[in-house]
């Protein structure tokens, strides 16, 4: 949810807008709905919601918002669309669906990253309460619940706890359950094939249900206690264990009583090691906002089951001069429509009660928010605020450093980009193993950072294995031939710099391609290895005839070049290895041959050292492999040729 800044004051001067737009604004109903603003190029500028469309939208056009973010946006509006809905909750849902799909320029946007980790407890088969213990009998894995880290869609057949802010928080919770209740974490296949206890049993992290060292009812009792602990019922769990311990002691079952005593001791120790004490809260989210230098950080800390699980920072875009409250409300609107929301929120700034009411209606959870907490809650908020400050300071420092590197590279190469933010670099690298599975990579850098969504891989075909020059020619032609046509038609834009991982030979090949396409040679720069191939001694080779340049080991420009070059190398190698592995495990035509299953395919690949060896083998050679008849060998021989 984004609102007009409250401190904007009316002025006589106002941006001029088309009469049709102003007539539409005047005719809007006083009903809840969603509005969308468009500029002259039909680009969506802003999406907002309102309880009263007429009142909210009119406020944009009756005031002069000056040079603020809202002011710039209003000055560009030429058209508007509105959708009337039945309630603010519906407006909230529609607004954020449109924000996610349209990504308007003036909305505060949070990255759509809702893949939180969970702790999963598999649900075992029901066991009768009066069923006698069967020590020594090995149960099936379906009878013995397993605790495991999980990320993905929730399956109602099992129990889930979370979400947790990080993988580390989930693993810490699993270790707690292993120490106190000795629950199993092994895969079902491992469980089925155990004939003696594993190492986890020896170090007292598992009770050994796989080999019948604990009965299924007793194990299930520990599972129930673990689930109660995860829900925050700490005192109840301690009381239950103590009662069982005393009952065993009264029956003179001292070994069982000692086990429960050790369990209580372990649980007590773990609880005392918690860095943050609880005050009875079960599920709480703590939200702290920091805005500075046109950037913002929302730090989300989580309390689940009465335990503080840590925090997670979020960095929105399109912040500009937005107020902290705007950022916080945008986060609440976008984040909690897809993620379970706890009933209690602790916030660094007051949030709109109407927004909380809309979230309550949408999620079905009664949500309350406190922005001026006391006692332990205040400590939590102060911790979250401090973390938000630290994370934002780190982001600003990193971006400042990266901007300095970009500027240094531009200056070192005497380039003159129209906009340093838009300065674009594309870097190419070739990777193969002895000519096998040749791939070329293209990585992209702009806005002072690597843009992984724009990376591309190219499978290189029709060349002699190991011919890097031919591979470079092919990838450059494929990348820039169509782009060159688009540029001549005024519909495309070439990168400001094309980096080639290689020396004079590779650069000469790139020069030939660019000359044939009629492109500017000054854009091509090769990164040549230095003496002894040592990092920091690289030299830059130019395609337009300039002398080689050594920038210096401590040069910020060389650091950026090396960063981009190394990323291209990493991306190429991972692609090549994946392609090579696919071939070597039978990802070739072997999979398509009738009668050649996984076992026979594995024997063939092992016998001949890979798919290429199988393809080179004669019918007689193929017949020497166990399970391959002469008829099947002939089929394989024909299929691979």
**Residue ending a domain, choose from 49, 79, 102:** 102
Q: Is the pLDDT of residue 272 over 80?
A: no
**Whole-number Å distance between alpha carbons of 359 and 331:** 12
Mean pLDDT score across all residues of the chain: 82
The answer as to whether 259 is a domain residue is no
Residues forming a β-bridge with 344: 284, 368
The whole-angstrom separation of Cα 588 and Cα 436 is 13
Between 603 and 115, whose confidence is greater?
Answer: 603
pLDDT tens digits for range 427-484? 999 887 666 668 889 999 998 889 988 999 898 888 887 788 999 999 999 999 988 8
| 486 pLDDT above the threshold of 70 | yes
Task: Copy the structure tokens of residue 323.
Answer: 């107020």
Percent of the chain with pLDDT over 90: 18
Question: Residue 169's pLDDT band (boundaries 50, 70, 90)?
Answer: confident
Confidence of residue 5 (pLDDT cuts 50, 70, 90): very low
Based on the fold, state whether residues 557 and 617 are members of the same structural domain: no
Indicate whether 603 and 542 sit together in one domain: no
Closest to 246 in 3D by CA, of 237, 230, 258:
258
Q: What is the mean pLDDT of residues 400-420?
A: 85
Are 502 and 516 within one domain?
yes
Q: How many domains does the chain have?
A: 4
Q: What is the pLDDT of residues 597-615, one digit of tens each?
A: 777 877 887 777 667 778 7
Q: What is the pLDDT of residue 476?
A: 94
Report the 10 Å Cβ neighbour count for 57. Answer: 21
Q: Where are the beta strands (DSSP E) in 305-391?
A: 307-314, 344-347, 368-370
> What's the CA gap between 475 and 502, in Å, rounded?
14
Is residue 346 in a domain?
yes
Last residue of a domain, one of 69, 102, 135: 102
| Span 27-52, average pLDDT | 91
Same domain, 560 and 601: no
Asked, for residue 413, whether it belongs to a domain, the answer is no
Task: Count other Cβ atoms within 10 Å, centred on residue 514.
Answer: 22
Q: Does the pLDDT of residue 578 top 90, yes or no? A: no
Residue 511 pLDDT exceeds 70: yes
- pLDDT for position 188: 85
Dig out the tokens for 1 from the structure. 């949810």
Q: What is the CATH number of the domain that holds 95?
A: 3.40.1440.10
Comparing 263 with 512, the larger pLDDT belongs to: 512
The domain of 441 spans: 420-582
DSSP H or E segment with residue 295: strand 295-304
Say what the pLDDT of residue 269 is.
55
For the segment 194-216, the average pLDDT, to the nearest whole number, is: 88
Whose structure tokens read 């040729």?
A: 641
Quick count: other Cβ atoms within 10 Å of Cβ 555? 18
**CA quadruple 67, 72, 78, 79: dihedral sign:** negative
Mean pLDDT of 42-47: 91
Instruction: Provide φ and ψ at 193, rounded to 5°.
Output: -105, 10
How would you label 131-169 residue by residue, b for 16+ Cβ within 10 Å and e otherwise?
Answer: eeeeeeebbebeebbbbbbbeeeeeeeebebbbbbeeeb
Any bridge partners for residue 542, and if so which? 525
How many residues does this entry show for the chain?
641
CB 45 within 8 A of CB 39: yes
Instruction: Give yes or no for residue 191 having a pLDDT over 50.
Output: yes
pLDDT at 92: 85
> Which tokens go with 81?
């669309």
Token pair 């782009």: residue: 483
Band of the pLDDT at 281, cuts 50, 70, 90?
low
Highest mean pLDDT among 15-19, 403-407, 414-418: 403-407
Mean pLDDT score, 317-341: 85
Least confident segment among 119-123, 168-172, 226-230, 583-587: 583-587
Residue with tokens 């946007």: 109
Instruction: Note the pLDDT of residue 385.
Output: 92
Are 515 and 539 in a shared domain? yes
* pLDDT the model gives residue 277: 39
Which of 70-84, 278-292, 605-619 is the most confident on average?
A: 70-84
The verdict on 634 and 559 lying in the same domain is: no
Same domain, 542 and 566: yes
Residue 498 predicted with pLDDT over 90: yes
Gyration radius (Cα) of the chain, Å: 32
Position 634 scores a pLDDT of 86
Residue 244 reports pLDDT greater than 80: no
How confident is residue 125, by pLDDT bands cut at 50, 70 and 90? low
Q: Which two tokens stand for residue 490?
A: 């005024």
pLDDT score of 4 more than 50? no
User: Residue 631 is part of a domain; what is its CATH number?
Assistant: 1.10.150.20
pLDDT surpasses 50 at 259:
yes
**Domain end (from 43, 68, 102):** 102
Task: Please report whether residue 244 resides in a domain.
Answer: no
**Beta bridge pairs of residue 456:** 442
Asked, as a colleague might, if the bond just before 163 is cis with ω within 30 of 0, I would say: yes
How far is it, in rounded angstroms, from Cα 348 to Cα 378?
10
What are the φ and ψ backbone dihedral angles of 417, each rounded to 5 degrees? -70, 150
Q: List the CATH number of the domain containing 319.
A: 3.30.420.340
Is the confidence at residue 514, as pLDDT, over 70? yes
518: left (phi over 0), alpha (psi -120 to 50) or beta: left
pLDDT at 189: 82
Cα angle vertex 578, ends 574, 579, to 5°?
120
Place of tokens 């009878």: 143
- Coil/strand/helix, residue 631: helix
Asked if 319 contacts 327 with a C-beta cutoff of 8 angstroms, the reply is: yes
Question: What pLDDT score was predicted for residue 1?
Answer: 45
**pLDDT at 587 > cutoff 50:** no
| Among 4-18, 88-102, 306-320, the least confident range | 4-18
Indicate left, alpha or beta for 94 from its phi (over 0: left) and psi (-120 to 50: alpha). Answer: alpha
Give strand pairing partners of 258: none
Number of other residues whose CB lies within 10 A of the CB of residue 504: 13
What share of the chain has pLDDT > 70, as a percent?
87
Q: How far apart are CA 107 and CA 126, in angstroms?
A: 51
Distances, alpha carbon 197 to alpha carbons 140, 180, 424, 550, in Å: 15, 18, 58, 62
- Asked if residue 232 is part of any domain, the answer here is no
Q: Same domain, yes or no, for 342 and 451?
A: no
- 83: nearest Cα among 138, 144, 31, 34: 34
pLDDT reported for residue 477: 93
- Phi, psi (deg, nearest 5) at residue 302: -120, 135
Least confident interval from 130-134, 190-194, 316-320, 557-561: 130-134
Whether residue 341 sits in one domain with residue 464: no
346 and 361, same structural domain?
Answer: yes
Q: 458 and 390 share a domain?
A: no
124 lies in some domain: no
Residue 368 has pLDDT above 70, yes or no: yes
CA distance 321 to 319: 6
d(CA 411, CA 557): 9
What pTM did the predictor assign?
0.61
pLDDT band for 278, please (50, 70, 90 cuts): very low
Lowest mean pLDDT among 127-136, 143-152, 494-503, 558-567: 127-136
Residues 543 and 449 in one domain: yes
pLDDT value, residue 12: 41
Find the helix or strand (DSSP H, E) in which 302 lies: strand 295-304
Instruction: Burial-class residue 82 by CB neighbours within 10 Å (0-12, 13-18, 19+).
Output: middle
**Is a pLDDT exceeding 80 seen at residue 115?**
no
Angstrom distance (rounded) from CA 147 to CA 521: 60
In a domain, 78, yes or no: yes
- Asked if pLDDT for residue 420 goes beyond 50, the answer is yes
SS (H, E, C) 240-282: HHHHHHHHHHHCCCHHHHHHHHHHHHHHHHHHHCCCCCCCCCC
Question: How far apart are the C-alpha atoms of 575 and 573, rounded to whole Å?
Answer: 5
Average pLDDT over residues 291-317: 85
pLDDT at 80: 92
Q: Does residue 519 lie in a domain region?
A: yes
**Which of the two residues, 561 and 551, has the higher pLDDT score?**
561
């Amino acid at each position: 949810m984004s609102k007009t800044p409250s401190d904007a004051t009316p002025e006589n001067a106002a941006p001029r807008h088309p009469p049709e737009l102003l007539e539409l604004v005047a005719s809007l109903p006083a009903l809840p709905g969603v509005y969308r603003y468009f500029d002259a190029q039909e680009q969506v500028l802003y999406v907002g919601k309102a309880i009263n469309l007429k009142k909210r939208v009119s406020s944009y056009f009756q005031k002069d918002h000056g040079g603020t973010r809202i002011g710039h946006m209003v000055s560009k509006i030429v058209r508007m669309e509105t959708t009337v809905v039945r309630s603010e909750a519906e407006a909230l849902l529609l607004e954020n669906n449109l924000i996610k799909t349209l990504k308007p320029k003036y909305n505060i946007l949070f990255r759509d990253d809702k893949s939180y980790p969970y702790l999963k407890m598999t649900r075992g088969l029901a066991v009768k309460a009066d069923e006698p213990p069967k020590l020594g009998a090995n149960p099936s894995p379906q009878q013995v619940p397993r605790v495991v880290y999980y990320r993905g869609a929730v399956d109602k057949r099992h129990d889930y706890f979370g979400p947790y802010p990080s993988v580390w928080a989930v693993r810490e919770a699993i270790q707690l359950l292993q120490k106190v209740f000795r629950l199993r974490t092994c895969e079902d296949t491992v469980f089925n094939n155990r004939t003696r206890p594993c190492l986890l049993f020896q170090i007292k992290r598992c009770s050994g249900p796989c080999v019948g060292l604990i009965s299924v009812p007793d194990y299930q009792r520990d599972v129930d206690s673990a689930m109660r602990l995860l829900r925050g019922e700490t005192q109840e769990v301690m009381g239950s264990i103590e009662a069982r311990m005393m009952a065993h002691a009264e029956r003179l079952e001292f070994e069982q009583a000692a086990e429960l005593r050790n369990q209580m001791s372990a649980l007590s120790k773990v609880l005392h090691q918690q860095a943050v004490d609880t005050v009875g809260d079960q599920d709480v989210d703590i939200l702290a906002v920091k805005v500075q230098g046109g950037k913002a950080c929302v730090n989300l800390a989580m309390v689940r089951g009465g335990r503080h699980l840590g925090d997670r920072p979020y960095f929105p875009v399109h912040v500009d001069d937005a107020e902290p409250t705007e950022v916080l409300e945008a986060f609440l609107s976008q984040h909690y429509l897809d993620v379970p929301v706890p009933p209690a929120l602790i916030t660094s700034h007051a949030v709109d009660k109407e927004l909380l009411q809309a979230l309550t209606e949408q999620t079905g959870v009664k949500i309350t928010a406190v922005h001026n907490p006391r006692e332990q809650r205040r400590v939590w908020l102060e911790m979250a605020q401090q973390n938000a400050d630290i994370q934002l300071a780190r982001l600003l420092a990193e971006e400042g450093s990266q901007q300095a590197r970009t500027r240094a590279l531009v200056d070192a190469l005497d380039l003159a980009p129209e906009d340093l933010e838009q300065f674009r670099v594309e870097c190419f690298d070739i990777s193969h193993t002895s000519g096998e599975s040749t791939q070329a990579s293209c990585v992209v850098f702009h806005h002072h950072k690597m843009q992984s969504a724009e990376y591309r891989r190219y499978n290189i075909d029709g060349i002699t294995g190991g011919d890097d020059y031919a591979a470079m020619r092919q990838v450059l032609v494929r990348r820039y031939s169509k782009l060159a046509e688009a540029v001549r038609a005024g519909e495309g834009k070439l990168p400001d710099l094309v980096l080639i991982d290689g020396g004079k030979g590779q650069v000469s090949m790139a020069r030939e391609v660019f000359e044939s396409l009629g492109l500017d040679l000054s854009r091509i720069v090769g990164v040549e290895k230095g003496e002894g191939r040592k990092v920091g001694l690289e030299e830059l080779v130019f395609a337009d005839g300039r002398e080689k340049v050594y920038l210096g080991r401590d040069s910020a420009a060389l650091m950026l070049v090396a960063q981009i070059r190394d990323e291209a190398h990493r991306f190429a190698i991972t692609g090549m290895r994946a392609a090579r592995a696919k071939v070597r495990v039978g990802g070739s035509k072997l999979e398509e041959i009738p009668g050649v299953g996984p076992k026979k395919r594995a024997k063939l690949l092992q016998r001949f050292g890979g798919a290429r060896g199988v393809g080179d083998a004669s019918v007689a050679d193929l017949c020497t492999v166990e399970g391959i008849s002469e008829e099947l060998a002939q089929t394989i021989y024909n299929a691979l040729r």
